[in-house]
Structure 1
Amino acid sequence: MRYYADLHVHSRYSRACSRNSDLPHLAWWARRKGITVLGTGDFLHPVWAGVLRESLVPAEPGLFRLRDDLDREVLETLPPACRGPLRFLLQVEVATNYRRGGRGRRIHHLCYAPGFDAAGRLARALSPYGDLASDGRPALAMDSRDLLEAVLSCGEGSYLVPAHAWTPWFGVLGSKSGFDGVDECYGDLTGHVFALETGLSSDPEMNWRVSSLDRLRLVSHSDAHSPPILGRNATVFDTEVDYFAVRRALETGEGYVGTVDLYPEAGKYHLDGHRACGVRLEPAGTRERGGRCPVCGRKLTVGVLHRVEELADRPPGRRPSTGGEALKIVPLPEIAGEILGVGPKTKSVERALEGLTAALGPELPLLLQVPVRRVREAGEPEAAEAIERLRTHRVRREPGYDGEFGSISLFGPEDAGEQREQQGPREEPGPGGRGEQAASAGGADR
């Protein structure tokens, strides 16, 4: 069975996350997006762990489903086309803060457990290193290698994946506090790391330039800080819906299909720059200026593309044997907003999305699988044109830098046309049917 998984999510108990990041909202949006397996987020947080235990019931091996009464309430508010199966997988992001090699290291990791017993053992093992109740993504005073050892010791099948690997401050390969190789970070236990999360500012093609990563399966997840952002990045599997099948696919490649990514230029840290001065530079421009901002003279934030080029040992264009499909999307709210000439969080966009998904199914299959002909036949010629452009990579890119999101668009001024010129004034954002309007890149800093 081919399906989409989003295994990096946060709950309302993580800092800077939406109060609507609860299980019913997450379940509603996951189905609207077309996600089959969703991370729970934050299972180390004691309050959220209690919610998970109370609200989830066992399903397939290592997976959980929403309790029947809660799930019925979710399904009743979704159109039949968006009522697909949904399973939850226990997941948490952990930050390790420590010093190694004369540098401060602040590395983020994704930890997975096949059940509540294993999750509880991990919580007990990690509690001496930080306050697990202070943040759904706890900061622990321990070495990354020791965190990996704790994960491996908490239960058979538990595993760890480096999170948003290239983010300057928090990635295992980041320019500010990372390492030059995954093996440097995890030492003698590196062999137990078999997957790597690319993050919003890189994509598989960029990672394929670094041969030391060839042994790892590349995964992509949303790092959603609010439910509408689920599925902006995802990983594609063709396995039984089963925790251990997912793990085996990442470890062996059996059933691993590939990833769905935003264009990496949309990420906050794709290019180099200094946001305070409005300076955005390609890596060559940064090198020419000695890494200094041409306006104020301060150090530039070195972005992901620059960092990849530093570690790359082969040119673009080569796919390793472990490489999967590298699918790209522009989120459906942004597409609808472009077509209507309004913002992606407006009421008219939400109404358009309700009609599209009711007629044609959830967002990810609609963007990637539904025949364009069917979209036209459903009376959506503009959406059909946008999806056709997306699938043939006819997009416009304004890269992000130094914490500033980039933008990807499918239409330009020459496409405006009479209809779009007559849309009238822009709408104010609406309240949304599930507590928030559909969003795309906002809500996380990766």
Structure 2
Amino acid sequence: MKFYADIEIHSKYARAVSPQMTLENLALWAVKKGLAVLSTGDFTHPDWFSEITRKLEPVESGLYRLKKEFCDMDQPWDQQKTRFILGAEISCVYTKNKRGRRIHHLVYAPSIKVAETISTRLSWVGNLRSDGRPIIGIDSKELLKIVLESSSNSVLIPAHVWTPWFGVFGSKSGFNSLAECFDELEPHVFAVETGLSSDPAMNWRIPFLDNKTIMSGSDSHSLPRIGREASVFDTELSYQNIMAALKSRDERLAGTVEFFPEEGRYHYDGHAACQVCFSPEESKKHNNVCPKCNKPLVIGVMARINELAGSSRGSGFSPAWAKPFTRMVSLDEILSEALGVGKNSKAVWSEYDDIVSRVGPELSVLLDLPENQVRQELKGPTAEAVMRMRQGKLSVKPGYDGEYGVINIFKEGEAKQFTSQKALF
């Protein structure tokens, strides 16, 4: 069976995360989004782990679902359809090769018992209660050892690998290869997570990633952002099948769903305080220094990929093993443009709920629904925006130095031209 999975999210116990990120709400929103599998996120946090063990029950091997007693029977969404995989994110802060490192890694466990073992080991070297994404003063290699020793089926995947501040290849504290980070244990790291500011095509340019799987997750801190990036599988539901698909990179991994990478917060270089945004080429002309304040620019993802790719592979390079991927704009952003109102407005979410209850889950509507049904089921400007998104007919002002990029599907006032078109179908 083909399904979407978002296995990079956070819980309400992580810093800067919405208090609405509860297991009950996650299970509900996953159904709205069309996600079959969702990470629990943050299983290392003691209080969150307690909720996981109390509110979830095992189903398919290594996967869990919300117990019926915690489901809201007064709403139309079947929360028990959502499968949870035990996941966490760890921030490793340490020094290696005379440089300070701050690297985020995703960790997955095949069972409650193994997750508890990992957390116990980590509690010996760090405070797990302070943050859902705990800051641990150990080398990434040592974290990988703990994960591998907990179970042969436990997995570590570097998160948002190009992010300047916390990516394993980031410009601020990252490495120039996985081998430099993990030494002789590097072969045990079989996948990397792209982050919002890069997509698979950008990662294909890096030769040392040729034998690694490219996966994607939302890194969501709030319910509406779940599924903004996801991985696509074609296999039976189980922890083992999901991890085997990622490890083997065979037909069980069908591809990924991606942000337009320009929309990510670190795609270009820049200095947000001075509102300076540069392409990698422009940054070089300014010696990577902000022309307004003379402080160093934050070097973004595109420039860092250019640096590590060198001249051997250009932007159009595609390896034989490449998996398909689809770039997507979230439905609430599309509705915001189509309706001409803010994406957090009541009008947007009223229309959103109407579409996902009447037509189908968000990912299915945006990516899978045939064009004739898109035109028939959605209002004129919304239908037009969905089709333009699929065709890549939009403009993006790139993000930089923590500022999200800005996507525009319509020119100013253009959406009004399509307001009466649904009546024609």
Compute the TM-score of the two structures, normalised by the length of structure 1: 0.91
Decide which of 297, 300, 305 is 2:297's aligned counterpart.
Answer: 300
Residue 326 of structure 1: aligned partner? 325
Other structure's SS at 2:81 match? coil
Decide which of 266, 273, 278 is 2:275's aligned counterpart.
Answer: 278
Residue 402 of structure 1: aligned partner? 401
CA shift for structure 1 position 211: 1.4
* Alignment pair present for 1:22 and 2:12: no
- Change in Cα spacing, 1:167 to 1:123, as seen in structure 2 (3 Å) is same
Alignment partners' CA distance in 2, 1:416 and 1:203: 29
Detail structure 1 runs of 4+ shifted over 4 Å in the superposition.
Answer: none
Alignment partners' CA distance in 1, 2:156 and 2:397: 33
Residue 388 of structure 1: aligned partner? 387
Residue 155 of structure 1: aligned partner? 151
Other structure's SS at 1:112 match? strand
Other structure's SS at 1:240 match? coil
Alignment partners' CA distance in 1, 2:194 and 2:414: 33
Aligned pairs (5 A) from 1:245-284: 245-254=241-250, 255-284=252-281
Moved more, 308-317 or 407-416: 407-416
Other structure's SS at 1:322 match? coil
Residue type of the alignment partner of 2:143: L
Decide which of 67, 77, 93 is 2:75's aligned counterpart.
Answer: 77
1:217 and 1:322 in contact (8 A); partners too: no
Alignment partners' CA distance in 2, 1:418 and 1:85: 39
* Alignment pair present for 1:291 and 2:288: yes
Residue 197 of structure 2: aligned partner? 201
Other structure's SS at 1:129 match? coil
1:34 and 1:84 in contact (8 A); partners too: no
Paired residues, number: 416
Alignment partners' CA distance in 2, 1:276 and 1:42: 32
Alignment partners' CA distance in 2, 1:270 and 1:317: 18
CA shift for structure 1 position 414: 5.9
CA shift for structure 1 position 418: 6.2
Other structure's SS at 1:26 match? helix
Compute the TM-score of the two structures, normalised by the length of structure 2: 0.95
CA shift for structure 1 position 125: 1.2
Residue 133 of structure 1: aligned partner? 129
Moved more, 315-324 or 208-217: 315-324
1:373 and 1:384 in contact (8 A); partners too: no
1:37 and 1:87 in contact (8 A); partners too: yes
Residue 431 of structure 1: aligned partner? none
Alignment partners' CA distance in 2, 1:49 and 1:340: 41
Residue 346 of structure 2: aligned partner? 347
Other structure's SS at 1:94 match? strand
Alignment partners' CA distance in 2, 1:142 and 1:46: 20
Residue 428 of structure 1: aligned partner? none
CA shift for structure 1 position 100: 0.5
Residue type of the alignment partner of 1:405: Y
Other structure's SS at 2:344 match? coil
Alignment partners' CA distance in 2, 1:379 and 1:130: 50
Residue 442 of structure 1: aligned partner? none
CA shift for structure 1 position 393: 0.7
Alignment partners' CA distance in 1, 2:69 and 2:80: 17
1:360 and 1:375 in contact (8 A); partners too: no
Alignment partners' CA distance in 2, 1:303 and 1:400: 9
Residue type of the alignment partner of 1:309: N
Percent identity, aligned pairs only, is 44
2:216 and 2:231 in contact (8 A); partners too: yes
Residue 61 of structure 1: aligned partner? 61
Q: Which has the higher contact order (CA 8 A, sep 6+)?
A: 1
Other structure's SS at 2:100 match? strand
Residue 234 of structure 2: aligned partner? 238
Alignment partners' CA distance in 1, 2:303 and 2:80: 41
- Which blocks of at least 5 consecutive residues in structure 1 are unaligned? 421-446
Moved more, 376-385 or 297-306: 376-385
1:271 and 1:283 in contact (8 A); partners too: yes
Alignment partners' CA distance in 1, 2:173 and 2:21: 29
Decide which of 162, 165, 169 is 2:165's aligned counterpart.
Answer: 169
Alignment partners' CA distance in 2, 1:211 and 1:412: 39
CA shift for structure 1 position 305: 0.4
* Alignment pair present for 1:41 and 2:41: yes
Other structure's SS at 2:241 match? helix
Moved more, 83-92 or 298-307: 83-92
CA shift for structure 1 position 68: 1.3
Other structure's SS at 2:141 match? helix
RMSD across aligned positions (CA): 1.4
* Alignment pair present for 1:145 and 2:131: no
- Which blocks of at least 5 consecutive residues in structure 2 are unaligned? 420-425
